[in-house]
Every structure is written in C-alpha cells, then in structure tokens.
Amino acid sequence: MAEKVRLNKVIDLLQRGQPVFSYGTVMNGNFDELMAISRADYDMAIIETEHQGFDFSTLRNSLQYLVNRKRIAEKGNLQPDVVPFVRVPPYTREYGHNQWVIKQTLDLGPYGLVLPHLDSVEGAQAAVRAARYPQLPGVADAAPEGQRGWWSSLAPHYWGLDAQEYHDAADVWPLDPDGELLLMGIVENVRGIDNLRDILRQVKGLGAVWAGPGDLSVSMGKRGNSAHPEVEEALLNILAICKEFDVPCAVGLSPNADVEKRLEQGFRIIMVPPARSLDSLSRGRQAAGRSG
C-alpha cells in the first residue's frame, strides 16, 4: 500500500526535519502575484489581511489563484506545492471576542493561519479553541475544547475532500498529530517574549512561532529599526525559547540577508524576498540540500 501523503506540505517538511521556504506575505487580491507564486519553488505563501485587504470574497478568489492544477496532476496527490496560509487581522489576545474571523477564514480553505501579536497564554488558547472543531469526549486531545462552527461547503471542496474527511483532517497540529492545520503566532512585542515559555508550555496547538522584528523594534523603542543589534538579539532569544520546546521558529529575510546563516542558527521557516528576486530562495534551497 502506498504511503499516506500529508495534505499540508509545511507540516510534512517540518516533521521530516526539513526547512520550509515561504514567500512571506502577498496582499489579498494581488492575483497576478499569487499566480506567479503558484509556479515558483516556495513551500508556502502567506496571504496578507492584517494591514490591508480584509475581504472574504477577495480572499476566496486569492486562494483559487494559488491552485496549480498542472503541478497537482504531476504530483499525483492532493498536497499543494505552495501551501496557502492567511495572516488574519485581530491580535491573538483579541480572539475571545473575534472567533468569527478565524472561523470564516478557515471556512474558505487555507491550511494555516498566522496570528499577530502572540503575547499571552489566554490569547493563544482562545485562538486554538477557535480553530478546531469540538472533539469527542474522552479522546487524548480533547482539550482545549474546540469551538469552530461547522460549515461543510467551501473548505472541503478546496482541499479535495468530502465533508467528513475534511472534519477529520482539519485539526491543529501538533496537538492532533494527524491534524493538517498549522497555527503560527507572531512574537512581536516584549510582552510576547516574556510570556513565550509559558505559552509554549501550556498551549500545544501552536505549530510554529514567527520572530517578527518590525513591531518588536517599536515595542523595544527602536522605532521600526528592525536591523538594530538589540532587535537581532531579541530574535535569537525567541529562537532559543522555541528550540527549548521543539517548536519551529520562523524568520524573515531582507533581500541581502544571509539565508545560510539563518539556517545554521536553527530557524526552520525562512521567509525569503519576493518571487521576482529569487536569489535567497535558490541559495537557501541549496544550503538545505533541496536544490533538486
């Protein structure tokens, strides 16, 4: 019998100890760019709705432009080559009142969410609860209680599954080892760094952490200077905490950044410059032994 292939390529790579190369963020509704990304060698792309473009109808179309039927046919399974994630607008601490944003975003079919300003245990738990369906009583991963509402229309169709298959697959990894949804929180303020150990110790539904220098630099009084040495030190502190809990850590690159250095430091998700400037992507894949 053929080995079962994960639907979420990002989780598949992380489980096999391979680095993940992401486009970073592409604006919701930038269909030409999304179509170009679907033909590139990225492993994932993050559709941006935090700072602009928060419109569900546009997001539904954006997700379609990342579908590359030729690559799916050549691969012979349902795993997309470029996995769609969405960065949602609310800060993580707001999900006690904004579960509907996670619900309606996931109902369109992305395989993961990026959660801004991960800075509290309570906010992280609320995000996990909002992203998962209620579990059967007594199962090993029943907690935290899932609160995602059931709608069987768009997401199963986008994944190529029937409704029950989607229900079983669409749980958060690694809380559910077989789950195909990945939640990545952005640590981008000092409070988030201070609370990160508690978050990772108590919340098992986070699949990755993004060390975000932009807002972090503002939080540290550096006024957007993400290249400041103290900001770099803070990023490496986030990385060290993630390593302590064996949680993949993501980092973004500037066009001239040393991608090999970031891989050597232990970052497992690398966000490289846009598709029209592929040097960091190609060098990163070569450094990771994935140039084929």
Give the pLDDT confidence of 72-89 residue by residue, as tens digits. 899 899 999 999 999 999
Q: Specify the amino acid at residue 205.
A: G
Kindly tell me if the per-residue pLDDT of 240 is higher than 70.
yes
Residues with Cβ within 8 Å of 214's Cβ and at least 6 positions away in sequence, in order, are 188, 224, 226
CA distances from 172 to 23, 34, 127, 146 (A): 22, 25, 11, 10
For residue 255, what pLDDT is reported? 62
Q: How many CB atoms lie within 10 A of CB 77?
A: 12
**Are the C-beta atoms of residues 3 and 255 closer than 8 Å to each other?**
no
Ranges of each domain in the chain: 9-287
Kindly tell me if the per-residue pLDDT of 277 is higher than 60.
no
pTM of the predicted model, to two decimals?
A: 0.91
CA 271 – CA 25 distance, rounded (Å): 9
- Which CATH superfamily includes the segment(s) 9-287? Phosphoenolpyruvate-binding domains (3.20.20.60)
CA distances from 203 to 127, 188, 290 (A): 10, 18, 32
For residue 1, what pLDDT is reported? 34
What's the chain's average pLDDT? 92
Give the pLDDT confidence of 138-156 residue by residue, as tens digits. 787 877 889 999 998 899 9
For residue 292, what pLDDT is reported? 61
Percent of the chain surpassing pLDDT 70: 96
Going by pLDDT thresholds of 50, 70 and 90, the confidence category of residue 2 is: very low
Give the pLDDT confidence of 114-135 residue by residue, as tens digits. 999 999 999 999 999 999 999 8
CA 181 – CA 10 distance, rounded (Å): 10
